[in-house]
């Protein structure tokens, strides 16, 4: 197992002591780390050693360098004095060594080792900080609050050169003392960096590094397998129905996308309201549908031919398709805040979802918020944050991978890479009938068949969803069905066929009443009209084959309708030898004047 995999499996307190050890220079004793965290860090350091991330070196604990890729600035401090001193010239190292009371003879490597060892001793660093001139301490404290960087100091041509000529060439700066004693180091031409161990000492003897050895409290209980299965099955049936409702709706009216790409927040909100769910649930459904290739995202979101095949599967197999796609998602839809777009993040691991289910094990809880805190405490680097963990738990619950706060049979099948449909078992057949009630509602228990859903969606609006779905009929919804081509006879026959116990009288009256009124007023497009008291002339014009392109239609003996514009109608009539006169909307003659153009 690689160091990165080992890191991902460490709990929060172990990562905290490793971060503290890095801040102290990366070569520490158990006592030094324990002193900075304010508790015994030995068990956590041993856990890190067992993972191969800490090793014994010269009587100290050396932290694996791979951790610096995770903790670029451990405890908010910069590199250690030993790392920064490596950039000094030999003469500058001699000045620092002399001021620290160290030998100044030998090779540069010997000087560097001596300076690094000096700063690895916390007592040495605290003793040095106590000797700081007041002005220098003030500047260092400000530097620590600014991330350890001192900008535009511009120390000169080197410590040795400045020490030799400073009285002649420059005024003494508060940081000169700190630089000459190895507390700060030049990192650019003008900028300096405060050494990590020094930053910790400047914070004072009372400073303690963050350390949370106690795991968060969670109200765990032993799950009842029957309760877990029933809850997960009910949720599975509901989410399969939601997916059908979403994509059926997109098939009738494709979801619009925004210019930047993806489905915009307004469209997500509208869809969520129509389905009776949260926007986060719509994001999840869209992500799963896209991953499973049930829907295509281009200029619009529309269902694919794969969706039609999916509809023919049993409910348990539909759920299996959805859960498999969810496992493969390389992003967390619920974490998005803008438009929904399929993301592909290298930093996201699809295995995180399985890690959440695996970490829950045989536990159950009614508080997913507490569970998210606990899961993150156990493996912070795997899950990224408590909000992320809670998002994955909510997704798992929505899709039936959790039931009653515990891992469901479907979730266990995902973990074991087994057949999900077999683990879920029979979720029942799709419902092909509805209970039509006298209050003009239709109630469908379970998941409606595509044909049933299509019929009810065409004639009513969804009022609520869950283990049962309720539609409500109204004059407006029935009128919409008639507008779409249904007739009273066909609609009555179709509803009677799916009705449990027959068609209630109130609904039959509604269908008949709306049908009587439907079409009593008809609207046809007209671009212009021809009006004349000469009935014979209008009949002649209407029969004139040269005017066929006007699509003339006799509305009354004295009125013809033309589908061409007024200008085109006038031109066609004149070309055919007639002498029309143009009028405005009020029936007044329009005098056509020749327009004279001038430069």
How confident is the model over 163-177, as a mean pLDDT? 63
Confidence of residue 599 (pLDDT cuts 50, 70, 90): very low
In this structure, of 150-154, 251-255, 579-583, the range with the lowest mean pLDDT score is 150-154
Question: Which pLDDT score is estimated for 597?
Answer: 41
Per-residue confidence band for 161, with pLDDT thresholds at 50, 70 and 90: low
**pLDDT tens digits, one per residue of 290-343:** 999 999 998 899 999 999 999 989 999 999 999 999 999 989 998 888 999 998
**Which H helix or E strand runs over 28?**
strand 27-28
Q: Can you tell me the distance from the alpha carbon of 136 to that of 513, in angstroms, rounded to the nearest whole number?
A: 91
Predicted local confidence at residue 5, as pLDDT? 78
pLDDT score, position 173: 78
Specify the higher pLDDT residue, 69 or 74: 74
Q: Where are the domains of the chain?
A: 3-76, 81-202, 222-424, 435-517, 528-575
445-499 per-position pLDDT tens digit: 877 887 888 888 889 988 887 778 899 999 999 998 888 889 999 999 999 999 9
Helix (H) or strand (E) holding 144: helix 134-145
Q: By mean pLDDT, which of 32-36, 282-286, 461-465 is the weakest?
A: 461-465
Q: Considering the chain, what is the average pLDDT of its residues?
A: 88
pLDDT tens string 76-122 = 999 999 999 999 999 999 999 999 999 998 899 999 999 999 999 98
- Is pLDDT of 345 > 80? no
- The three-state (H, E, C) secondary structure of 363-406, written as one string: CEECCHHHHHHHHHHHCHHHHCCHHHHHHHHHHHHHCCCEECCE
Q: Are 434 and 442 in contact (CB under 8 A)?
A: yes
pTM above 0.85, yes or no: no
Q: What percent of the chain has pLDDT over 70?
A: 93
Q: Residue 240 above 50 pLDDT? A: yes
Query: Can you give the length of the chain in residues?
Result: 599
Could you tell me the end-to-end alpha-carbon distance of the chain, in angstroms, rounded to an integer?
85
Supply the pLDDT for residue 130.
93
> What's the confidence (pLDDT) of residue 591?
65
**196, 143 Cβ separation under 8 angstroms:** no
CA distance 480 to 494: 16
Cβ(451)–Cβ(338) below 8 Å: no
Question: Which pLDDT band holds residue 127 (cuts at 50, 70, 90)?
Answer: very high
For domain 3-76, say whether CATH 1.10.10.10 is its number.
yes
DSSP letters along 421-442, please?
HHHH----PPB--BEE-TTSEE
Are 331 and 255 contacting, i.e. CB atoms less than 8 angstroms apart?
no
């Amino acid at each position: 197992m690689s160091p990165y995999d080992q890191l991902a499996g460490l709990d929060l307190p172990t990562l905290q002591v490793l971060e503290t050890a890095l801040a102290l220079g990366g070569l520490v004793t158990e006592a030094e780390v324990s002193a900075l965290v304010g508790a015994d860090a030995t068990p956590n350091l041993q856990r890190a050693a067992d993972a191969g991330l800490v090793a014994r070196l010269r009587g100290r604990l050396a932290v694996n360098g791979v951790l610096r890729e995770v903790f670029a600035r451990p405890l908010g401090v910069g590199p250690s004095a030993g790392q920064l001193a490596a950039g000094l010239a030999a003469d500058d190292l001699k000045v620092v060594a002399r001021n620290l009371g160290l030998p100044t003879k030998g090779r540069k490597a010997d000087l560097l080792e001596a300076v690094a060892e000096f700063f690895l001793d916390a007592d040495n660093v605290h003793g040095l900080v106590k000797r700081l001139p007041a002005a220098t301490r003030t500047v260092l404290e400000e530097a620590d609050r600014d991330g350890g960087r001192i900008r535009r100091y511009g120390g000169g041509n080197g410590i040795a050169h400045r020490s030799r000529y400073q009285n002649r060439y420059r005024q003494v700066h508060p940081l000169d003392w700190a630089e000459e004693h190895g507390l700060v180091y030049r990192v650019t031409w003008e900028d300096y960096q405060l050494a990590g161990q020094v930053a910790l000492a400047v914070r004072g003897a009372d400073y303690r590094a963050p350390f949370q050895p106690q795991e968060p409290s969670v109200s765990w209980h032993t799950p009842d397998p029957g309760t877990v299965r029933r809850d997960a099955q009910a949720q599975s049936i509901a989410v399969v129905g939601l997916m059908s409702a979403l994509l059926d709706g997109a098939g009738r009216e494709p979801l619009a996308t925004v210019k930047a790409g993806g489905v915009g927040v307004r469209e997500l909100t509208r869809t969520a309201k129509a389905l009776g769910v949260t926007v986060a649930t719509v994001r999840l459904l869209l992500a799963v549908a896209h991953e499973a290739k049930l829907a295509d995202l281009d200029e619009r979101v529309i269902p694919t031919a794969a969706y039609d095949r999916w509809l023919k599967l049993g409910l348990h197999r539909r759920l299996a398709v959805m859960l498999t796609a969810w496992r493969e998602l390389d992003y967390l839809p619920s974490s998005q805040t803008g438009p929904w777009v399929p993301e592909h993040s290298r930093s996201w691991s699809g295995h995180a979802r399985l890690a959440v289910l695996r970490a829950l094990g045989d536990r159950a809880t009614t508080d997913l918020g507490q569970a998210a805190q606990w899961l993150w405490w156990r493996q912070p680097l795997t899950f990224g944050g408590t909000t992320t963990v809670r998002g994955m738990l909510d997704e798992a619950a929505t899709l039936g991978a959790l039931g009653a706060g515990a891992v469901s049979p479907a979730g266990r099948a995902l973990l074991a890479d087994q057949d999900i449909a077999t683990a879920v078992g029979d979720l029942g057949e799709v419902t092909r009938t509805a209970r039509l009630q006298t209050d003009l509602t239709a109630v469908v228990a379970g998941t409606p068949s595509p044909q049933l859903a299509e019929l009810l969606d065409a004639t009513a609006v969804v009022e609520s969803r869950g283990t049962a779905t309720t539609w409500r009929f109204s004059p407006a919804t029935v009128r919409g069905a008639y507008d779409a081509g249904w007739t009273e006879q066909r609609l009555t026959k179709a509803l009677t066929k799916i009705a449990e116990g027959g068609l209630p009288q109130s609904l039959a009256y509604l269908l008949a009443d709306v049908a009587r009124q439907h079409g009593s007023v008809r609207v046809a497009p007209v671009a212009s009209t021809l009006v004349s008291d000469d009935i014979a002339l209008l009949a002649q014009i209407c029969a004139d084959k040269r005017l066929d392109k006007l699509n003339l239609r006799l509305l009354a003996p004295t009125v013809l309708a033309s589908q061409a514009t007024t200008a085109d109608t006038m031109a066609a009539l004149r070309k055919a030898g007639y002498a029309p006169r143009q009028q405005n909307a009020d029936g007044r003659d329009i005098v056509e004047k020749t327009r004279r153009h001038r430069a």
